Structure 1
């Protein structure tokens, strides 16, 4: 892997600063946030049922662990920025700002801190006797290869152990084949593709079987019941509906469905009214991805650091399917979109040949996503198995990454401190678990590596520890 240098060009510095300013402004307007857990709370804020301070507190509580425990360590160890480091703080700063003009100022200031401060921190850390940032690069192999197994977990959970075993054998065979025939390619690329396609194929087949069964049952019921019986049933149903809701207030459907449809329609219309802002946001994210200083995920950051841009695009493309239903439904329910949209803007940006085309592509992707949001919501409602597959993918990604990051962090601990490093990092992780996870599990292990690195350097200066050689 190349050196994890965070020395950005002036253009890249200005792009990061401008994008952070824009994302903070959009968060201030409650039009979009990056944290999926914060988005559902924005509806109450937009409708005046909660205060800006309370919403900011929720955002900070759900984001701080990811920023300092995952975003910063990943950026320092790979030399590639990530959305947790850039956009989670701008969520908080944008919501915190009491004035519209102050939000982009605070967001831009955070972007400047990132691009100007990280390089200095990176250089200082590499001068320490115990170089824990270099050790953290040992995380790359577990993250890349264990991440590739997430489709196997999703297939197993949704469709059972036999099909899960088939997916596992298929991925293993394709990984071995890729390593043998195409050693220059990331070995998990074809395996992930096959696993995701298998999952989607099984889900679509289940939905099609369900719809055929429903149509067959409907035809059978219609054949058994005569026209007169059907008419009487409809008349009785209408009479009951009028009796419950009042004859003077006719309804076309269940009140809850009408209310939800009205809410979704209003949310989609709110987002469409601000389409130019979203197009500008999409252009900025795509340009930053095209410059290969921004990665959309943990595995992606390491792939970009190695120069494997095509594989990085593939990984983030598959990842997007796991989060699309969550982002779509929370956006329609709250009227707030995602800072990275459905995240398809990342892989598109990686593959663009120049910033101008990346900006155009990013703007077009965001425009298409926002305009299609209502249709996507209706489609997901008609395909429950596909929607469940996305939820299974998202959960499998989280589980695979939690194991990979923990295992990689222990490898990093061994590299910088031998058994003592493993003891400290593993002990901090276990302590976090015993205390009820004040630091979210995925961020706890990288945070423990950095804390362990600081402790080992202190022990070295006290002449109580000798750094591991090699």
Structure 2
């Protein structure tokens, strides 16, 4: 399977695609202003104080900006420029900030729409300028695709090892390696990690459910009864939050339709690995990757939504893989709206089910942690490969040095985004050295 993209991945959008991005950015900024949903999982817990008036709009904006800026400029923009595919860090994190920032309800969609216009019109210009430079660091960044796609496949193995120990982790590792080798041999045009990830995630869920079932049987055998507190304040809060979100069900259905249509247009990828797969036209593989990620985020999104009263802009992110596979935008809009309706209406039930499956909840935590670990290594390794492609040893020195400096300074740029940001800064620096006649670009 080829893991490189055609040189000069473009960001040319049709009129329909431009209008969709602008309209969706306007909508998400409005929803963020209403404190009904935000994309950043780290911001969501702060929304309860904002909803209940215990903190100001400016203070909440500062929190959102602080938690999002590194991902926007260090990960979202570099990934979009290198793949030619939009991503949620670039599209939805800024509308979180702009929506909360807007002092008036009518201003939020205007600011959001303006950001959408910057994305669809400004990125293409920046993309063209960067590709015309003597040191084309955007094409070099496509070197990131191979480590991201292949190392990302290992996240179920890490999650199983962390939760169920080395023995089960070893079994999962051997199984995934065998499936990757088999896929590369028998189905060379298929994403090699697809079957491996499916087997790993199913194995993790099976182990977690089995553990919970055994524990419940043991509790019943020991006559341990579940204690239900009628006046549990958390139960009351969860109920109020779910009711608040249900009141705005039509708005959430429009949001679901919009996100699903954006995914159906194949100009948007829900994650790092997905962006490269979408860029290469491997939509079914991209759908598999984002579907497996869902299992790591449902418990987090459901519990934070019930605790804060603010949902996720992409919901449980099921609309991503569904959108990739839809044959046309009209069907995608209908299905996306229905998926969001089911998600919002089922929030309370999901919260109760998760309360009875502690091992499944733990699996979600381990999945998210494993996804972060695999991507951090893959992005760092891929960024160094990009540095080597654009500047050889000097490129590695500059990019690796910037990454290490960021670590030494206490990570002013979040770790996940530091390496891609270093590639862009390093690429600009190498171009300056070229113009000063101090560096000769690598040919090839």
Q: TM-score range by the shorter chain?
A: over 0.9
- Selected match of 1:57 from 62, 65, 81: 62
Q: CA deviation at 1:254?
A: 4.2
For 2:223, what is the secondary structure of its paired residue? helix
Distance 1:327 1:436 in 2: 28
Q: What does residue 279 of structure 2 align with?
A: 305
Q: What does residue 124 of structure 1 align with?
A: 129
- Selected match of 2:393 from 388, 398, 419: 419
Q: What does residue 197 of structure 1 align with?
A: 202
**CA RMSD between the two structures:** 1.1
- Selected match of 2:82 from 77, 80, 83: 77
Distance 1:212 1:469 in 2: 66
Rg larger in structure: 1
Q: Deviations over 1:87-120 (max 9, x none)?
A: 0000000000000000000000000000000000
Q: CA deviation at 1:4?
A: 1.0
- Selected match of 2:183 from 178, 185, 210: 178
Q: How many residues align?
A: 438
Distance 1:329 1:416 in 2: 44
TM-score by length of 2: 0.98
For 2:190, what is the secondary structure of its paired residue? coil
Distance 1:317 1:166 in 2: 23
Distance 2:399 2:298 in 1: 34
Q: What does residue 48 of structure 2 align with?
A: 43
Distance 1:71 1:254 in 2: 44
Q: CA deviation at 1:63?
A: 0.2
Residue 439 of structure 2 corresponds to residue 465 of structure 1: yes
Q: What does residue 323 of structure 2 align with?
A: 349
Distance 1:131 1:315 in 2: 29
- After TM superposition, which residue ranges in structure 1, 4 or more long, deviate above 3 angstroms? 252-255
For 1:173, what is the secondary structure of its paired residue? helix
Give the 5 Å matches for 1:115-264.
Answer: 115-218=120-223, 254=229, 258-264=232-238
Q: What does residue 344 of structure 2 align with?
A: 370
> Measured at CA, do residues 182 and 464 of structure 1 come closer, stay the same or move farther in structure 2, by a change above 3 Å?
same
Distance 1:438 1:210 in 2: 44
Q: CA deviation at 1:253?
A: 5.6
Gaps of 5+ in 1: 222-251
Distance 1:35 1:107 in 2: 16
Distance 1:425 1:253 in 2: 55
Distance 2:198 2:360 in 1: 17
Q: Deviations over 1:222-267 (max 9, x none)?
A: xxxxxxxxxxxxxxxxxxxxxxxxxxxxxx9647x62111100000
Distance 1:370 1:165 in 2: 38
Q: What does residue 72 of structure 2 align with?
A: 67
Distance 2:132 2:232 in 1: 63
Distance 2:198 2:232 in 1: 39
Distance 2:164 2:418 in 1: 32
Residue 300 of structure 2 corresponds to residue 295 of structure 1: no
Q: What does residue 243 of structure 1 align with?
A: none
Gaps of 5+ in 2: none
- Selected match of 2:413 from 419, 423, 439: 439
Q: CA deviation at 1:159?
A: 0.2
Residue 258 of structure 2 corresponds to residue 284 of structure 1: yes
Q: What does residue 366 of structure 2 align with?
A: 392
Q: CA deviation at 1:135?
A: 0.1
Q: Deviations over 1:161-201 (max 9, x none)?
A: 01000000000000000000000100000000000000000
